[in-house]
Amino acid sequence: MVFKSYLTVKNIIFFIVAILFIKFLTTISAIAMMFFASYVLACSLNPLVELLTKRMKRPMAATVVITGMILIFSLFFIPVIVIASDQINSFIQVLPGHIANLKAFIMNKTILGQKIVDMIDIPSFIQPVSDFTTNLVNQSITVTIGIASSLIYILTMCIIMYYFIVDKRTIRRTFLTFFPKQMKKKADRIVETISKKIGGYIVAQGVTMLSVGIVFTICLLLLKVDYAVLLGLIATVLDIIPVIGPAIALIICIVMCYQIAPVTLALIVASFFLAQWVENNFVRPYVFGKFMDVHPLIIFFSIFVTAKFLGIIGVVFAPAIAATACVILDELYIKPINNEKRDV
């Protein structure tokens, strides 16, 4: 059997210790997530560092890449976050009025001569949407302010990223010393595969999310829609959740803009579908064809699990966690089973 060589007392003890270690990490989830996030970002930046090492030493290449990332974030993302934060504050103030007007609008409408309010329980339908939107906005502004103000946290992540990149081989050799001798080669291959897949997946996911946000925001700005940057940011963030994320983003857009002219609202909806069309037909096939695609159901599951145990930050890195789990499952179980079937 494929797994017979692994069923030793030493290996069983190793797996028990590994499970206990993972359990320990859940008790220090904030610190563990900081290191995991740093590792994920280091994996995504490593190909660029490898390219620069042809012209300079690795520490200098890592410094140049991380500094460049910080500058890009400062020049592009921070202004967007600041503008979106102002729009969030403004939206929170008018949200109760929007919900009240939406209730009145729906309750006065009829279908086949019968009022909608008599057909469905409107308050029980709208209230969850209202609560979700309010919670989403409040959490978004909390996380936004936290990220913008936590310079020490960001600096610490940059330092951890630097050492993950510069001391990549040393860290890997040290990590492999914890594995039994007969598992070192497989563990090394798994770590290498995870590093490449995670880095590629994060870059691909980031590009697809940005494509949606940029196209949708530009369309909203051209239409002179209020909260254009905020709506674009919501569409960008929620795009990480397959199918449901874009649907929620569209509902939020309609709730926030339903009072404007019907033609403009139709153009907003059309702009949203245009952004999704560009992503699904041009950006996603290209970038994911070069890296790794993860089935939406796996991402769904990872998002729900990370949201439960790690909160909103865990949701952000759920695709990376899903990609890691897929690589481990593939290397430890799927490939050995397929090889065994071929040998039979």
Predicted confidence at residue 291, as pLDDT, reads 63
**pLDDT confidence of residue 60:** 93
Tens digits of residue pLDDT in 119-144: 555 455 455 555 555 555 555 555 55
Q: What is the pLDDT of residue 35?
A: 84
**Which residues of the chain are modeled with pLDDT < 50?**
1-3, 113, 122, 125
Query: What would the pLDDT profile of 41-56 be if each residue is shown by its tens digit?
Result: 888 888 889 899 988 9
Give the pLDDT of residue 215. Answer: 92
- At residue 218, the pLDDT reads 93
User: What is residue 86's predicted lDDT score, i.e. its pLDDT?
Assistant: 73
pLDDT in tens, 306-317: 777 766 667 777
β-sheet bridge partners, residue 114: 111
Rg (CA), the chain: 24
User: pLDDT exceeding 70 applies to what percent of the chain?
Assistant: 67
pLDDT of residue 222: 92
pLDDT of residue 205: 81
